[in-house]
Amino acid sequence: MNRLPESISPFQLKLLLVAALVCANQAACRVNEPLNVLFIAADDMNCDLSVYGDELVKTPNLERLAKMGVRFENAYCQQPLCGPSRASIMTGLRPDTLDVHTLRHELREKNPDVVTLGQLFKRNGYYSARAGKIYHYGNPTQIGTDANDDRATWNARYNPAGIDRTQEENITRYGPQKGGLGISMAWWDPVSADEDHTDGMVASKVIQLIEQNKKRPFFLAAGFFNPHCPYVAPKRYFDLYPLDRITMPDLDEAQADLVDVPPMAIQRDTPNWPYYFKNVSIDQARKCKQAYYACTSFVDAQVGRLLEALDTHNLLDKTIVVFWSDHGYFLGEKGLWYKRKAFERSARMPLIIAAPGLSKNSAATKPVELLDLYPTLADLCGLTPPKNLEGESLKPLLQDPATADWTKPAVTQVWHNKNAWGYSIRTERWRYTEWLEGEAGRELYDHEDDPDEITNLAQQSQHRETVEQLSKQLQPYVRLKPHKRP
């Protein structure tokens, strides 16, 4: 135990007491100081990442972030399509509640009074700003514009455009040579600097915003466009992935995987199977997969730049950092490409949250949903969110990733048109999917034995009780408005 010197004078004792009070007050101020939020989004990024155990795809900066917080092993989107998924994230409401299921710019039109996530922070004295894509953008067509952004969410918005947008003529395209590049098998590997590209510019702008706002609470969003197609990144990221290390699924086996799948589940993919477009070869798909991984590592490098900026300005211990993607992505599994499917590969995406004072270097395996982010950030920052949010705060899992108290399932829906839609529920063990409430087919996959969802168990008599239970559990989430039903 530390003792005061026996010869201390009354005056010295008084000075020591004053100093102790000052230190105590400063500590109290730090405890009560508002937490910042750095909200980092990737576009179309699946979990082929070293931080999720992939041995090929290099993501050292996401690994660093995961060591700072909690990696969610089983996080799921509300709809595997950019527009509705991002609208749901930013409002904490399901696509059916918002009546938003497409890429149309209609969030505010249909929900004029909704309070978005950034808007909540702005109303509570935070500086709310974004650079890049948070709400839906046509990629690459709308890069450099506000696209489907929501003005009420932000104090400021920034829309950089790099060579991936301004030099599209250099992009190599497979399959159809007409139409936009937003749905394409296309790539480019220029010898270039990170900041020549849109995502490098996004990172630079957010770094600047961190510097400019380091002395006041902020909600800053970095919206990266990669690895969404067209797959464009500096050549050195392509060099990380020699083509002879890029494997592609056997197409005979892939076709066999789809025999027991209801036709509606893959109706967008069937006409030109495999790889979505006619006449795309396995080697061309392999090149696109290499390019996708290059873009993933490019995004990871920008995440590293953002973390360094926080560290440089001594903000790591007062900033919540969230990394998320809007949905998963197929890269040839089952012969499929892109998203917009109810399989695990499309519904699951990376989610990492690092929050000061909570768990570090941990993994949570419970199913969670992207719409849980809104109540989580409000909870962690002591803000009162709207009462109608449909997610739940992830704080219990951030405190104890193994808690048994978290029992909420994750629900993902797919909406193609009023005659083709379905809902999928993910529990700790099962994925169960109904198309048109079962009239167009059902799927059941046991993730204890079949993580790749090869065998559909829905029609097997020994699983009838499981199907009935999961169907009942799913039913309350099926809330399409009448004009969205047949």
Among 47, 82, 288, 295, the active-site one is 82
In angstroms, rounded to a whole number, what is the distance separating the alpha carbons of residues 96 and 315? 38
- pLDDT above 70 covers a percentage of the chain that reads 94
Is residue 9 scored above 70 in pLDDT? no
The alpha carbon dihedral of 330, 198, 153, 208 has a sign of positive
Q: How do beta strands 319-325 and 351-354 pair?
A: antiparallel
Among 101, 136, 228, 327, the active-site one is 136
Task: Give which of 327, 321, 332, 315 is closest to 358, Cα–Cα.
Answer: 321
User: ω before 230 within 30° of 0 (cis)?
Assistant: yes
Tokens of 108: 């505010």
User: ω before 486 within 30° of 0 (cis)?
Assistant: no
Looking at the DSSP bridge assignments, the partners of residue 324 are: 41, 351
Tokens of 407: 């029992």
- Classified as helix, coil or strand, 231 is strand
Report pLDDT digits (tens) over 157-178. Answer: 999 999 999 999 999 999 999 8
Q: What is the pLDDT of residue 7?
A: 53
Which domains are delineated in the chain? 33-401 (3.40.720.10), 413-484 (3.30.1120)
In angstroms, rounded to a whole number, what is the distance separating the alpha carbons of residues 107 and 127? 22
Q: What is the pLDDT of residue 8?
A: 55
Average pLDDT, the chain: 94
> Rounded mean pLDDT of 19-33?
49
Tokens of 42: 């990737």
Report pLDDT digits (tens) over 358-402. Answer: 999 999 999 999 999 999 999 999 999 999 999 999 999 999 999
User: Is 136 a residue of the active site?
Assistant: yes
- Classified as helix, coil or strand, 358 is coil
Report pLDDT digits (tens) over 182-197. Answer: 999 999 999 999 999 9
Cβ–Cβ under 8 Å, residues 98 and 111:
yes
- Classified as helix, coil or strand, 312 is helix
> Rounded mean pLDDT of 59-69?
98
User: Is 82 a residue of the active site?
Assistant: yes
Neighbours of 447 (CB within 10 A): 16
Is residue 97 scored above 70 in pLDDT? yes
Is residue 465 scored above 50 in pLDDT? yes
In angstroms, rounded to a whole number, what is the distance separating the alpha carbons of residues 447 and 329? 18
- Classified as helix, coil or strand, 136 is coil
Confidence of residue 12 (pLDDT cuts 50, 70, 90): low
Task: Give which of 299, 242, 261 is closest to 61, Cα–Cα.
Answer: 299
Q: What is the pLDDT of residue 10?
A: 55
Confidence of residue 32 (pLDDT cuts 50, 70, 90): confident
Q: φ, ψ for residue 338 (rounded to 5)?
A: 75, -155
Q: Quote the strand ranges of 406-441, DSSP E.
A: 410-417, 420-426, 430-435
- Classified as helix, coil or strand, 301 is helix
Cβ neighbours for 302, distance < 8 A, ≥ 6 positions apart: 194, 199, 200, 202, 203, 222, 224
Q: How do beta strands 172-174 and 75-76 pair?
A: unpaired
